[in-house]
């Protein structure tokens, strides 16, 4: 049985249903057996482990909360636990699942035509088709309402011009959900690989999310039929609603990464003997470990309550902002702390904290930077937009 609970200082396990626990333990086993043995090598060599994709599909990890179309129809707490466990493995693996599920299958399921849903969702649930989500542009991601990518109606077709940047899974995707400005506001399009004028290029030299593909997308007079537009996605609220799904998962993922770093730091402190006794005997070390447990416990409770609200249909996107901000921040801080606790060994990718630390530098920026989420919460409590 994998150890998918440590730390569980507040017996949060007892607040889960049997089904939720079973989902978590299944994914934990997958992460322990299949992700952890290879992930340091993937990170070091900047390789996304595509060989894991079919196994993740077999476990039902793509679009797991969606109804029908070969999806599992799980609740949102179970989905969160999946994301927690995947990110305990690596943020890159969780990113792939987040994008496929929350940023591609979700908009097709929510805003797509019957034909689009039937064509893409079963294939994406089985990972026979991979998706990516293009919102961010080279001139700035925090303010997507000012996007420059344009779609113009020409006869019965659309003509797409522009570029997207920092797109997870961009070059390996069979289909890109592309958000573009039209004369009627923001609209979403399903752009297939191989469409004339559509090219991609991977972004090299990343020192973060190295086990993940990140690309630029270019659209040069791409001609798309009306049937490739997501018919009910109208306005900026549509892509932002997708971000809410992915941010929700990241709120759980940040805790997963923190749990991995805490466990490694605790183990190290048990075994490292300095000044005549193991590090766990030192008051200062106990305070640092206790502080990690304090932060992880608050993150676990926040994520669980957020999930329960989401399952009751009562979650507001500003609550997701607070949770993404809090839980990625605690993940990043705990990863840095654990890296330091491990001493010199902590700078090696053979230990997990430095990898999580570098990954979380992306996670704290993407899906809305920490500042953006602080300002979202600020706007909610004051009524004043200060972006």
Q: Which stretch binds ligand TGC (CB under 6 A): 78-86, 143-151, 224-232, 335-343?
A: 143-151
Tell whether residue 206 is a contact of ligand TGC (CB under 6 A). Answer: no
Select from ligand TGC, ligand FAD, none the partner in contact with residue 235, using the beta carbon and a kind-dependent cut-off of 5 to 8 Å. ligand TGC
Tell whether residue 144 is a contact of ligand TGC (CB under 6 A). Answer: yes
Q: Which stretch binds ligand FAD (CB under 6 A): 38-46, 148-156, 224-232, 367-375?
A: 367-375
C-beta pairs of 353-356 under 8 Å, 24+ apart in sequence: 353/261, 353/264, 353/265, 355/39, 355/40, 355/43, 355/90, 356/90, 356/91, 356/257, 356/260, 356/261, 356/331
Among 244, 300, 326, 359, binds ligand TGC (CB under 6 A): 244
Q: CA nearest 372: which of 332, 336, 318?
A: 318
As a whole number of angstroms, the distance between CA 104 and CA 242 comes to: 8
Map tokens 């537009």 to a residue. 229
Select from ligand FAD, ligand TGC, none the partner in contact with residue 134, using the beta carbon and a kind-dependent cut-off of 5 to 8 Å. ligand FAD
Tell whether residue 227 is a contact of ligand TGC (CB under 6 A). Answer: no
Tell whether residue 185 is a contact of ligand TGC (CB under 6 A). Answer: no
Among 240, 309, 349, 377, binds ligand TGC (CB under 6 A): 240
Among 64, 131, 141, 331, binds ligand TGC (CB under 6 A): 141
Residues 6+ apart with CB under 8 A from 233: 107, 111, 186, 187, 188, 239
Alpha-carbon Rg for the chain, nearest whole angstrom, is 21
Catalytic one of 41, 367, 370, 380 = 367
Q: Which residues ranging from 206 to 265 are in contact with ligand FAD (CB under 6 A)?
A: 209, 214
As a whole number of angstroms, the distance between CA 81 and CA 307 comes to: 10
Task: Tell me, rounded to whole angstroms, the distance of Cα 178 from its chain centroid.
Answer: 18
As a whole number of angstroms, the distance between CA 314 and CA 298 comes to: 20
In the complex with ligand TGC, the residue whose CB is nearer, 120 or 166, is 166
Find the largest Cα–Cα distance for the chain: 80
Active site residue 370: no
CB atoms within 10 A of CB 119: 17
**Cβ pair 158, 151 in contact under 8 A:** yes
Q: Which stretch binds ligand TGC (CB under 6 A): 40-48, 75-83, 141-149, 150-158?
A: 141-149
Tell whether residue 98 is a contact of ligand TGC (CB under 6 A). Answer: yes
- Catalytic residue positions? 367
Q: Which residues contribute to the site for ligand FAD (CB under 6 A)?
A: 99, 133-136, 140-142, 166-168, 209, 214, 362, 365-367, 369, 371-372, 387
């Amino acid at each position: 049985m994998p150890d998918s609970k440590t730390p569980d200082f507040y017996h949060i396990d007892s607040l889960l249903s049997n089904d939720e626990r079973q989902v978590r333990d299944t994914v934990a086993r997958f992460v322990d057996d299949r992700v952890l043995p290879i992930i340091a090598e993937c990170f070091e060599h900047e390789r996304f482990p595509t060989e894991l994709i079919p196994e993740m599909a077999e476990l039902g990890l793509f679009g797991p909360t969606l109804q029908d179309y070969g999806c599992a129809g799980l609740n949102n707490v179970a989905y969160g636990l999946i994301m927690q466990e995947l990110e305990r493995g690596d943020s890159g693996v969780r990113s792939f699942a987040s994008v496929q599920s929350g940023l591609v299958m979700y908009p097709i399921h929510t805003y797509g035509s019957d034909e689009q849903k039937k064509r893409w969702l079963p294939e994406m649930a089985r990972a026979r088709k991979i998706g990516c989500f293009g919102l961010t542009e080279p001139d700035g991601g925090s303010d997507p309402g000012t996007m420059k990518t344009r779609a113009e109606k020409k006869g019965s077709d659309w003509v797409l011009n522009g570029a997207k940047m920092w797109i997870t899974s961009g070059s390996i995707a069979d289909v890109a959900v592309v958000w573009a400005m039209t004369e009627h506001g923001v609209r979403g399009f399903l752009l297939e690989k191989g469409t004339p004028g559509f090219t991609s290029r991977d972004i090299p030299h990343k020192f973060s999310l190295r086990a993940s593909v990140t690309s630029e997308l270019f659209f040069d007079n791409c001609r798309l039929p009306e049937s490739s537009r997501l018919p009910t996605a109208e306005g900026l609220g549509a892509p932002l609603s997708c971000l809410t799904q992915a941010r929700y998962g990241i709120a759980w993922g940040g805790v997963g990464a923190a749990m991995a770093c805490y466990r490694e730091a605790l183990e190290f402190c048990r075994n490292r003997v300095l000044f005549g006794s193991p590090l766990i005997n030192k008051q200062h070390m106990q305070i640092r470990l206790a502080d990690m447990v304090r932060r992880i416990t608050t993150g676990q409770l926040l994520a669980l309550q957020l999930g329960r609200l989401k399952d009751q249909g009562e979650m507001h996107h500003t609550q997701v902002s607070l949770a993404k901000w809090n839980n990625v921040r605690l993940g990043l801080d705990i990863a840095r702390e654990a890296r330091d606790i491990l001493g010199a060994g902590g700078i090696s990718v053979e230990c997990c904290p430095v990898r999580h630390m570098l990954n979380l530098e992306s996670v704290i920026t993407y899906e809305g930077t920490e500042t953006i989420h602080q300002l979202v919460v600020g706007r909610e409590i004051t009524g004043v937009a200060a972006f």
